[in-house]
Amino acid sequence: MADAPKLGFGPFTAPRSGILVVFCDNGLKFGPATAKTLGSATGLVARAAKAERFTGKNGKSLDLIMPEGLKVDRLTVIGVGKAADLKASDVVKLGGAAMGKVPAGASEATVFAELPAGAMNPEQAADLAQGVLLRAYAFDRYKTKRKEDDKPPAKRGVTIATGDVAAARKAYVAREAIAGGVVMARDLVNEPANILYPEEFARRAQALKKVGVKVEVLDVKAMTKLGMGALLGVGQGSRRDSRTVVMRWDGGKKGDAPLAFIGKGVCFDTGGISIKPASGMEDMKGDMAGAACVVGLMQALAARKAKVNAVGVIGVVENMPDGNAQRPGDIVTSMSGQTIEIINTDAEGRLVLADVLWYTAKRFKPKFMIDLATLTGAIIVALGQEYAGMFANNDELSHRLHLAGEATDEKVWRMPLSPFYDKMIDSKFADMKNTGGSRWGGAITAAQFIQRFVADKTPWAHLDIAGTGMDSRASDINKSWGSGWGVRLLDRLVADHYEK
Ligand code: BES
Ligand code: MN
Ligand code: ZN
């Protein structure tokens, strides 16, 4: 990633250069350290606020260039609205908003981690710092012709001014690890498919060994031996061989059943023989956002030394039309032994997940399985880009995911499963078919299909992230096409319920 600023913590002292960002509430009130620093410039701020009709509403800001009485080049005041209402995820967003006010060319900025009532606590200061990092991300690896005036300076530094520097630094360690996982996931999603094909994806996952994750790669031969006919059928039309990658982080008690995270990793989805229309097909380089999230999550858990046993399993393939590609009407046998009639080769994600879920439940007997997949256009029709669709066979897991979603602002909305929808995928020729036959309830019939491969009644949740994982809605903490959605959500789920 380019543009990552060097982030540090320091005391509340007036910066002598660069950009200063401070917060006020909807009464234009500052905290004591901020007020002291602004000193004689306070009157200037009040005048500017009046002129600009800035009232301190959350998300609004006011800029003063070369403010008299201060040494900085620019002062930015960001409104937080009613300070008492701020949740942790709001503070992360404030960090993002603050970074958003640092011009591309600026080499140093100071952000005062203070609210009108006083200094943010160390956790809040660290949340603010995480927001800065997430916002600073830019995928510009392939930009070779930047103009002089939008080149970032060689060195950029952001200092978070806070009351208890040591405690904030300590709280930041885990948050930095999590942001690192998000960045890793974003990079994978943004990367084009000529660079990031299954073997290369597996290679990048191997980088997790550096943080102590055990990584195993299953090649076509190994998957053939296991009988993964559903996954292999998807990849057989591609010049690039398929892979399954298993990542293990053993930070918990020895012998404790692991939590399992499963990802759809379709490096490119042309639709196969049921080929997609040309318009927008380039977006299908992001059809591995589920797998990217799992890799980012495993990286984050290991980097922050989470006290949990976790396993990440991703099926990585490319869905291409070719003389060897599978056809509509073909019947494949999955690892579970169940047979599948292929109606539409573009409904490939569920075929990949079918074998990877079965494999994971049988091999690891996990406490639960959560899969993430950019699975259906239908979930985007239903929920847009704000919520991911959630399907679950377990109310406790569903509830915990809901809470983690609210806490991190990576929100999930539960959708139904029922025998009525399940019947829609019964096939004339095989045990089931890979589409529901009509477009109605398309996200649900996809989930029903996957549920048939959840072995041994393992508690399970499926997150359809077609609307949230890629081509994402810009926010204060994300300007990237690939959002890294789900890393913060699942890290939070683990931290809140499964670590001791
Ligand atoms: N990868 C797509 C789903 C998708 C669509 C993700 C748009 C992100 C944005 C998936 O493999 C797919 O093609 N699904 C089909 C299923 C259909 C053929 C039953 C769909 O949603 O149209
Ligand atoms: Mn498809
Ligand atoms: Zn797909």
Give the Å distance between the CA of 255 and the centre of ligand 1: 39
Kindly tell me if the per-residue pLDDT of 157 is higher than 60.
yes
Alpha carbon distance 245, 360 (integer Å):
11
Q: Which residues of 430-455 are buried (b: 16+ CB within 10 A; e: fewer)?
A: bbbbbbbeeeebbbbbbbbbbbbbbb
More confident residue, 5 or 139: 139
374 lines ligand 1 (CB under 6 A): yes
Which residue's C-alpha comes closest to atom 5 of ligand 1?
A: 377
Ligand with minimal distance to 378 CA: 1
* Residue 256 buriedness (CB in 10 A; 0-12 / 13-18 / 19+): middle
Kindly tell me if the per-residue pLDDT of 491 is higher than 80.
yes
- What's residue 152's pLDDT? 73
287 lines ligand 1 (CB under 6 A): yes
DSSP assignment letter at 128: H
How much is the average pLDDT of 241-246? Answer: 99
Q: What 3-state class would DSSP assign to 391?
A: strand
* Helix axes of 289-303 and 487-497: crossing angle, nearest 10 degrees: 40
Confidence of residue 84 (pLDDT cuts 50, 70, 90): confident
How much is the average pLDDT of 406-419? Answer: 98
221 is catalytic: no
For 307-317, how does the pLDDT look when each residue is reduced to its tens digit (9 = 90+)? 999 999 999 99
Confidence of residue 69 (pLDDT cuts 50, 70, 90): very high
> Which is the catalytic residue, given 276, 307, 362, 414?
276
Q: What 3-state class would DSSP assign to 199?
A: helix
Kindly tell me if the per-residue pLDDT of 212 is higher than 90.
yes
For 217-226, how does the pLDDT look when each residue is reduced to its tens digit (9 = 90+)? 999 999 999 9
Chain CA centroid to CA 314, Å: 15
How much is the average pLDDT of 196-225? Answer: 98
Write phi, then psi, for 346 (nearest 5 degrees): -85, -10
For 160-193, how does the pLDDT look when each residue is reduced to its tens digit (9 = 90+)? 999 999 999 999 999 999 999 999 999 999 999 9
Kindly tell me if the per-residue pLDDT of 106 is higher than 90.
no
- What's residue 154's pLDDT? 75
| CA end-to-end span of the chain | 33
Percentage with pLDDT > 90 across the chain: 94
Kindly tell me if the per-residue pLDDT of 322 is higher than 70.
yes
CB-CB neighbours of 194 under 10 Å: 10
468 lines ligand 1 (CB under 6 A): no
Tokens at 378, concatenated: 């239908």
More confident residue, 84 or 170: 170
Q: Which amino acid is at 464?
A: D
Alpha carbon distance 262, 112 (integer Å):
40
Kindly tell me if the per-residue pLDDT of 2 is higher than 60.
no
Kindly tell me if the per-residue pLDDT of 500 is higher than 90.
no
Give the Å distance between the CA of 293 and the centre of ligand 1: 18
For ligand 1, pick from 268, 376, 465 the residue to mutate: most ligand atoms within 8 Å of CB: 376
376 lines ligand 1 (CB under 6 A): yes
Kindly tell me if the per-residue pLDDT of 1 is higher than 60.
no
- What's residue 155's pLDDT? 82
Which residue's C-alpha comes closest to atom 17 of ligand 1?
A: 347
* Helix boundaries (H) for 285-429: 289-303, 349-364, 377-383, 395-408, 419-423
More confident residue, 149 or 410: 410
For 426-480, how does the pLDDT look when each residue is reduced to its tens digit (9 = 90+)? 999 999 999 998 999 999 999 999 999 999 999 999 999 999 999 998 999 999 9
Confidence of residue 3 (pLDDT cuts 50, 70, 90): low
